[in-house]
Structure 1
Amino acid sequence: MLGQMLDCVIPSSSTRRPKPNLSLPSQQGSSADVTPSSTAQPSPTINLTREYTLAIQTSSYSEIWSKIHPGDPSYEDLELGEGEAHEGQQRLTHVLNPSRECVDEALQHARPSTLTRLVSDYFDHSENTSHLCLLLHDSVRRARLIYHDLQNLLDVLPLDSDPYCLTPSQCDQAFDIFLQFDRLDNPFPCPNSNNFHDMRLCFSQLNQRLQHRLCKSRSRVQRLRHATTCFAVCLIGTVVGVCIAAVTVASHALIALVAGPILPAILPSKITKKEMAHLAQLDAAAKGTYVLHNDLDTIDRLVERLYTAVEGDKFLIRLGLERGRDRHPIHEIAKQLQKTHRNFLVHLMDLEEHICLCFSAINRARSLLLEEIHLNQSRYS
């Protein structure tokens, strides 16, 4: 009876569902287009599963993984104590690249402007995202820690046999472990926490500011190019007119005399090149903002799923604790936990992988943006 009630409350999933082989077809033409089948070309596809697999096999991913997973095998069993905040700051300095010091040094030489403020805000937001990822990685560590005894219990209990196979000693041990698990807090932040909401809001607002500045910068570059082109046409017309009027004079010498100082003016001006450099920085920051905003959405969904899974396990365990040390409820609760725990471990690994991927994306975007800043400074220093 209890087993039927538990199945109704939380559906069991005894095996991990394989990741789907997602293939996205490219955009097709409209239905009004008529194309003979003999000349139709196969549309290219994007295999997301393969792309994900390749992403977690890159050297940058492996480097991040090794930095946040020390070689000590007892690392996962460490309690996170009073020195957690200081340890987290040290790990952030160790993982974040380019570091805050490198960024500050580059921005010190930049003239205060809207562009500088936008770039500085991007670096701050990406650093805050890295800090959030480290906190979530600590949540993964806590989850492995609080499930350690429970997992060992599920491994030794004879759950495939009759409940009467459980000994009084095993029932007492299971009850004590259930009681200990129930007293522990959920290691993951609740879905309504402000961490993700505030971070996504910051990136959303920053993206709007970047897009606004990008539009203004592109418009200015177009105006400058148009003005340069018009000026060049006028100058060339002037040179031709002077040459025709002075046909009896040494025309070649006159052309050289008139066109010499004028032709450089029709080349792209210094202000256009500088605006293009600013445009490259804005574009790098906008791309980084877009990628990190999407990464946060994915990680948020993974965290919400794990939080819900822990709460579901707590609910099951409370049902068992209400019925005392009797072998029948303990046997049913343990069987349900065994089914859900397999998927929980899979989701835990998914979150860990996405945290590392997010770190890699942050470092890659920061490096590209800082490279654009250094390139601009070297040109106009």
Structure 2
Amino acid sequence: MTTSTENTPRSSTPPSPSVNLTREYTLAVQTNSYSEIWLQIHPNNCSYQEIDLEHLEAHEDQQRLAHLLQPNREHVKEALRYARPSTLTRLVSAYFDHSEHTSQLCLLLHQSVLRARSVYAPLHDLLDVLPSDSESMTQSQCDRAFDVFLQFDCLDNPFPPPDSHNFNDMRSCFSELKQQLNRHLSKSHSRVRILHRGTTGSAICLIGTAVGVVISAIAIASHALVALVAVPLLPTLLPSKMTKKELAHLSQLEAAARGTYVLHNDLDTIDRLVARLHTAVEGDKLLIRLGLERGRDKHPIQEVVKQLCRNHDSFFHQLMDLEEHLCLCFTAINRARSLLLQEIRLHETQSS
């Protein structure tokens, strides 16, 4: 489900200031995998006004998540089934778990977007039919606006408040995992360097011994020659095999670290967008309550309509921004999981 044009950073270092982020973002939302995710999470042939709020929980169905999440839980379990228990296995499993939980959170937040569009649909319809000059509204139009305001005021904010426990818990998980991965990456890099030096040293030792053997061959019996040559062969071959194994571990750690870095940043961005939307909804609810306090009096209702018209475009732009980032997050999760699973299967192939 991924393509070579995916916009997932390949390094755990922050992007260079010279990178054109707007262009990168535009390219990301034009990928095939992004389009597929977008089509999967949006209702088919259904206007937002027709969405049944009471049945949006159906989107949380595990089968739906399994379809969106690629590779899904079953594929991951199959790949890790025969893995020897180790720190590496534990860290890789933790990454797969955290990325799956992030997908669940994104799915919940997309439900919030659908709820918001449904909640705002009556207001949207109202503003479409009202005159552009709110002061020219008739009493009948004000009465209709009052009724729509009452309905809106009874509904809950679709978005969680800033710093909700879902975001805090996920950020804490990724922060802890990132620290653990960085520590083990540092150790793994050190072991690879040591093994590489050991392999090089063993090769030099072998060459030196062979030269010494040639020089002293006249004085040394043939069985001693065999002993001298055989001694360095084991340390020469053994570090090479160990180095390949350590490099395979290093590749898996780096894949998990890249995925963790990307998802941690995505969560921060999505958290900020959700916080802005929650604040915007609370602002509209407060504004509407102020308009309702004076009953069906035309003047306060006209003032509320005027302000809502000013806020309308900005709010729906923020909704679209969140939807796009949720799809990008889904795409990044699937790409990172796929790359990590490829590293695991490659290591299994080399080991067999």
Matched-pair contact (CA < 8 Å) for 1:76–1:141: no
- C-alpha separation in 2, matches of 1:50 and 1:86: 32
Structure 1 pair 206–126 and aligned structure 2 pair: CA distance change class (3 A): same
1:300 counterpart = 2:271? yes
From 243, 259, 264, the counterpart of 1:288: 259
**Alignment correspondent of 1:153:** 126
1:104 counterpart = 2:77? yes
**Alignment correspondent of 1:221:** 192
The Cα of 1:125 is off from its aligned counterpart by 0.2
Q: Max radius of gyration: which structure? A: 1
**What does 1:1-381 align with in structure 2 at a 5 Å threshold?**
45-74=18-47, 77-81=50-54, 84=57, 87-160=60-133, 163=135, 165-246=136-217, 266=236, 269-381=240-352
Structure 1 pair 83–318 and aligned structure 2 pair: CA distance change class (3 A): closer
**Alignment correspondent of 1:17:** none
SS at match of 2:19: strand
- C-alpha separation in 1, matches of 2:215 and 2:27: 66
Unaligned residue ranges in structure 2 (runs of 5+): 1-13
- C-alpha separation in 2, matches of 1:230 and 1:274: 19
- C-alpha separation in 2, matches of 1:289 and 1:318: 43
The Cα of 1:62 is off from its aligned counterpart by 0.7
Q: Structure 2 counterpart of 1:88, which letter? A: D
Matched-pair contact (CA < 8 Å) for 1:159–1:334: no
Matched-pair contact (CA < 8 Å) for 1:175–1:325: yes
- C-alpha separation in 1, matches of 2:320 and 2:51: 18
- C-alpha separation in 2, matches of 1:246 and 1:192: 77
- C-alpha separation in 2, matches of 1:83 and 1:305: 23
- CA deviation string 1:75-130 (max 9, x = no partner): 66322435725743222111000010000011111001111111001000000000
SS at match of 1:46: coil
Q: Structure 1 counterpart of 2:101, which letter? A: N
TM-score, normalised with respect to structure 1: 0.82
TM-score, normalised with respect to structure 2: 0.89
SS at match of 2:83: coil
The Cα of 1:263 is off from its aligned counterpart by 6.1
Task: Identify the range of structure 1 (115-124 vs 260-269) with the bigger mean alpha-carbon deviation.
Answer: 260-269
SS at match of 1:110: coil
Q: Structure 1 counterpart of 2:23, which letter? A: R
The Cα of 1:314 is off from its aligned counterpart by 0.5
Structure 1 pair 26–84 and aligned structure 2 pair: CA distance change class (3 A): closer
**Alignment correspondent of 1:16:** none
SS at match of 2:149: helix
The Cα of 1:192 is off from its aligned counterpart by 3.2
The Cα of 1:377 is off from its aligned counterpart by 1.0
Matched-pair contact (CA < 8 Å) for 1:159–1:331: no
The Cα of 1:260 is off from its aligned counterpart by 9.0
Matched-pair contact (CA < 8 Å) for 1:88–1:134: no
Matched-pair contact (CA < 8 Å) for 1:140–1:348: yes
- CA deviation string 1:161-187 (max 9, x = no partner): 6x2x32222111100100110110000
Matched-pair contact (CA < 8 Å) for 2:59–2:111: no
Please provide the CA RMSD for this pair. 2.6
Q: How many residues align?
A: 336
Matched-pair contact (CA < 8 Å) for 1:211–1:286: yes
Matched-pair contact (CA < 8 Å) for 2:153–2:289: yes
SS at match of 1:81: helix
The Cα of 1:50 is off from its aligned counterpart by 1.0
Q: Structure 2 counterpart of 1:122, which letter? A: Y
Unaligned residue ranges in structure 1 (runs of 5+): 1-23, 28-44
- C-alpha separation in 1, matches of 2:337 and 2:163: 29
Q: Structure 2 counterpart of 1:143, which letter? A: A
